[in-house]
Structure 1
Amino acid sequence: MFTPSELSFFDEKFLNKFSACAKFKISMESLLNGWQNVISEVEKGYSLGINDYTNDLTLRDLIEEVLRGCPEDLKEKISLFIKRWDEKFDHLTQKAKRPLLKIDKEFWWWGRIPLNLKDPLKSDLQRNGLI
């Protein structure tokens, strides 16, 4: 999907910093595949709690940070991939009473919760007044 020079750009500009914070190696592939996996879990019925769900949403935050800092050609390349998954996530979720975190409105995914709610996430969202 990406050339070696593009991968090097991602590492130098973003991923080395992300990896240092996470204390494990993060690649563009792992970010994009991770977001895809989150959406697959939401589709099946998210079976973990709110802490895991918010942690999973941070994958999309990292992708957004990359998008905002990329030259246009790379932004278009990533956007082509991510747009389909964002649309699917939007389709599989509903608007929460309020965003899970107080964050920039452009980070729209923080205001979305799965349509197919299972415990413990369902109970966590009820307890926090989000549904």
Structure 2
Amino acid sequence: MISAEQLLEQWARTVDDVEHGYALTYEDYLNDLDVRRALDDAPLPYDARERLAALDARFQEVTFPSGECVWGVENEEAEGWDRIAHWYYWRLPTHPGPAFHDE
């Protein structure tokens, strides 16, 4: 099982990737957002929650709102996600690479 700290490190790498132009595929991006979702339920100490908030702010700066859940309406409804609580599922990278659009 992956630890909360490992999840936080994975999210930090994703934020770095998005800041520098997300070079991976759309499917990879969805998986990276699932890491962020897992952090919602992870038992993080206060300092880790502060770090997560800073990473989220950076992520929001280099993404833009999508018209719908990036996983699609069916998954949104099946999982019970909403635009406020699961805001990251409604964001797309400002500078995706070619592989992102090839999928």
TM-score, normalisation: structure 2: 0.81
Q: Partner residue of 2:25?
A: 49
Q: Partner residue of 1:83?
A: 53
Q: Measure the CA separation in 1 of the matches of 2:33 and 2:101.
A: 16
| Letter aligned with residue 101 of structure 2 | K
Highest relative contact order (Cα 8 Å, sep 6+), 1 or 2?
2
Q: Measure the CA separation in 2 of the matches of 1:44 and 1:31.
A: 20
Structure 1, gaps ≥5 residues long = 1-18, 20-25, 125-131
CA contact (8 A) 2:4 2:42 kept: no
How far residue 86 of structure 1 moved from its aligned partner, in angstroms, is 0.2
Identity %: 26
Which structure's CA Rg is the greater one? 1
Q: Which moved more, 1:92-101 or 1:115-124?
A: 115-124
| Letter aligned with residue 56 of structure 2 | D
Given the alignment, which residue of 60, 65, 83 partners 1:95? 65
How far residue 44 of structure 1 moved from its aligned partner, in angstroms, is 1.2
SS of the equivalent of 1:120 reads helix
Q: Measure the CA separation in 2 of the matches of 1:110 and 1:119.
A: 21
Q: Partner residue of 1:6?
A: none
CA contact (8 A) 2:18 2:62 kept: yes
Structure 1 segments, 4+ long, off by >2 Å, are none
| Letter aligned with residue 89 of structure 2 | W
Structure 2, gaps ≥5 residues long = none
How far residue 77 of structure 1 moved from its aligned partner, in angstroms, is 3.3
- 1:108 counterpart = 2:80: no
SS of the equivalent of 2:98 reads coil
How far residue 123 of structure 1 moved from its aligned partner, in angstroms, is 4.2
TM-score, normalisation: structure 1: 0.65
How far residue 110 of structure 1 moved from its aligned partner, in angstroms, is 0.5
- 1:117 counterpart = 2:96: yes
Q: Give the paired residue count.
A: 94
Higher helix share: 1
SS of the equivalent of 2:96 reads coil
Q: Measure the CA separation in 2 of the matches of 1:66 and 1:30.
A: 11
